[in-house]
Structure formats: C-alpha cells, structure tokens
Amino acid sequence: MQENEVQANGKHPMKKWGTVLKGENSWTMFKVISEFVEGFETLNHAGPCVSIFGSARTKPDHPYYKLAVEIARLLTVEGYGVITGGGPGIMEAGNKGAFLTGGSSVGLNINLPFEQSHNQFIDPDNNLNFRYFFVRKVMFVKYAQAFIALPGGFGTMDELFEVLTLIQTGKITPVPVILVGTKFWSGMLDWIKEVMLEQEKNISAKDMDLIPMTDDPQEILQIINDFYEGQDKQLQPNLEL
C-alpha cells in the first residue's frame, strides 16, 4: 500500500540501509580534526619540502630505488626536506637519501591492514601516522614546493592526478610536478596527449606543460631551481585552509 502511494506521487520507493547507522559516526570529525592538528603542528617546523611518490614494492636493488635515493640526496643538499608516504620501496628510498645526507626526512604513514610499518629513515619527530587518506593528502600537498613521481601503482597515480587537478583548478599555487622514469611514464603521456587532449579535447594544451619527464636527477633539480629563480616566488605552504 505504501509503495502504491509513493508511486502515485510520482516517486520510486527508495532503498534502505541494511544496518542501523550508529550515532558514533557523527563523532568521526573529532578524529579528523586531531589528525589535521598533529600534522600541521609537526610539519610547520619541517621547513620547505619536496614530496616524492612511488611504489612501496620497489626493492632496494632496483634502479628506481637507487635513483630515488640520489634525487633525495640532491634535494637535501639544495636545502629541501623530503616528504614520502613513510613506507618501503620508493618511499624508503626518498627518506633514506634525505636522512643519510642530514636533511629533514618526513614520513606520512597510513594505517593499512596489509602494509608493513614505517621505514627506518624517517626523523622520529617527523614520523606521522594517519587513519584518513584525505588528511594525509593535505599534508603531502600543503608543505611541498615540488612533487616528484617515480613509477608506482594506483596510489602513485592517485597522488599524481590529485596534485595536477589542484594546480589545474587553481586550488594550490603552481609548483613543479616532475615524472621520473621515461620508460614507465611515456605511454601514459602519449595517451594523455593523443586521446585526452587531441581526440577528446578534455584538457588544454598548456596542461601538458604541468608534467615534465626526465631520468636525470640533476635535471630534476634544475627544473625546480629554474621555477623559483628570478621570479620572486617565495617559498610558502600551498594551501590556506
């Protein structure tokens, strides 16, 4: 009878939740706030950094791991701290290069059921643990003066395109976003250019300039230095919340 009445009103019956929603869900915001506060208070003292993305599955003997160590080393010598996701693989390599060179080494760990604990090269006072991905992403972005993406999986892609979207839409100030690993990234860039840009016209030609690609650690440093040199670009956090 109720269903007929609803249909008579021109509306379809709506599906119901299988369980009763608990009132405690409303208190989740306090957990979120606490993570933001801890992140801000810690990273405010870490100084200008560069965020390095990449796979947790990359082994220490892999060329990309060694490349990430060297990139982080050069960034540290240049005066930047290094932010990673705090785990193994490329993340460990980034922290290792910064830690062993005496730079600021930040780890933004995420609680996952299948991931091991943080790597050993994170500064104890810059070692953060997050429950929520979206809070962690804010920390990746807010304190980074550049972003470097080495080969990785879905998480790396998520972080990369999140940053590109924020820059494209003007939600953060433009900063260098550099793809490292031409063999890995070339196919994706070709697809973006040929399909996303030229075929479907879903982006602008100038958007291609947001993602330079290289395998040379010195060129990475040069791209970052060129971006900030002689243009009165002050180092400052990217997000004003």
The predicted-structure confidence for 143-177, as pLDDT tens digits, reads as follows 999 999 999 999 999 999 999 999 999 999 899 99
Query: With contact defined as beta carbons under 8 Å apart, do 220 and 148 qualify?
Result: yes
Distance, CA of 129 to CA of 105 (rounded, Å):
14
Query: With contact defined as beta carbons under 8 Å apart, do 107 and 84 qualify?
Result: yes
Q: For position 167, which CATH number holds?
A: 3.40.50.450
171 falls within a domain: yes
Report the side by side order of strands in the sheet with 144-149. 127-130, 105-110, 81-84, 49-53, 144-149, 177-180, 213-214
Helix, strand or coil for residue 203?
Answer: coil
What would the pLDDT profile of 33-58 be if each residue is shown by its tens digit?
999 999 999 999 999 999 999 999 99
Per the structure, the complete domain to which residue 170 belongs is given by 28-224
Phi/psi at 187 (5° precision): -60, -40
Q: What is the pTM of this model?
A: 0.90
Distance, CA of 30 to CA of 34 (rounded, Å):
6
193 falls within a domain: yes
176 falls within a domain: yes
203 falls within a domain: yes
Total structural domains in the chain? 1
43 falls within a domain: yes
**Given pLDDT bands bounded at 50, 70 and 90, which one contains residue 1?**
very low
12 falls within a domain: no
* Averaged pLDDT for residues 214-239: 86
16 falls within a domain: no
156 falls within a domain: yes
